[in-house]
Amino acid sequence: MLKKSVLLAVIASLPFAFSATANDRYQTRPPVMVSPDLQAAWVLQLGGVPVQTRGYATRPTVNAGRQMVPVYRQQVMQAQPARQRPLVQQRRVLFGQQPTVQPVAMRPNKPVRTQIEPQFLPQMVAYQTTEKPGTIVIDTRERFLYLVMADGMAKRYGVGVGKPGFEWAGTHKVTAKREWPTWNPPKEMIAREAAKGHYLPASMEGGPENPLGARALYLGSTLYRIHGTNAPWSIGSGVSSGCIRMRNEDVTDLYERVKVGTKVIVI
């Protein structure tokens, strides 16, 4: 009977002995040597230390009562149609290499002019006319403004003129001059541009960004002006709503040479 009791006591104490031995044995995880050539997420988890590798991001997860173990999550690449991704490219993506961009046949965009054409720069030219010196003659077809001088000469400036549908001709006088003028676009222009999705301000103070530029010469009682611009590369083109635009340095030079009352002929 005594032997049976001792045997039962020994058997009852075995789980605690095994539990203590197991806890002592696995209290600290043994180090695992991992080759740097191995990049799979499940292999990296064996080390227990976050490893910074391209294509992977670390995120710790908390388990109640247990050691925090880093979890590695592979980045999700945007899916593309298989016919646009050759097999070689797919293999490169799987092994972490940068995919090769395949050349695509493209139609070149229309070149954008950013500089003024040389012929539209100011210059003295021979100009035969019966108009008196000081008269301004604007040739909208050739995109030139002539300031008539003495002895059959004129100073010629390049200008931007009205776009198709906004051309005009006539004779007026300079009725006002303004430095860095305020821009008050007409209601018709505001409505016309709004229909295109371009919303113009009711008024804009003078400054480098103002479409009227540095100077403005007002023509008669019309809404037309000879003025500067914030887009000098447009000189020599038909781009305005009827106004005659010049480079800021050119309109400033003209501004100093003419007076209120100067005759302006637009042809």
pLDDT band at 74 (very low <50, low <70, confident <90, very high): very low
Give me the pLDDT at residue 87, please: 47
Give me the pLDDT at residue 91, please: 44
Contact 90, 81 (CB under 8 A): no
pLDDT at residue 104 tops 90: no
pLDDT at residue 250 tops 80: yes
3-state secondary structure of 8: helix
Contact 100, 81 (CB under 8 A): no
Residues 208-226, mean pLDDT to the nearest whole number: 95
Active site residue 198: no
pLDDT at residue 118 tops 70: yes
pLDDT band at 4 (very low <50, low <70, confident <90, very high): low
Averaged confidence pLDDT in the chain: 75
pLDDT at residue 77 tops 70: no
Residues 24-50, mean pLDDT to the nearest whole number: 53
**Of 44, 147, 243, 266, catalytic:** 243
**Of 227, 247, 255, 266, catalytic:** 227
pTM of the shown model: 0.58
Instruction: Give every CB contact of residue 122 below 8 A, 6+ residues apart in sequence.
Output: 155, 156, 157, 158, 250, 253
Task: For residues 152 and 150, give the distance between their C-alpha atoms in angstroms, rounded to a whole number.
Answer: 6
pLDDT at residue 42 tops 70: no
pLDDT at residue 253 tops 70: yes
Domains and CATH numbers, the chain: 34-73 (no CATH), 118-266 (2.40.440.10)
Give me the pLDDT at residue 23, please: 54
Percent residues over pLDDT 70 in the chain: 57
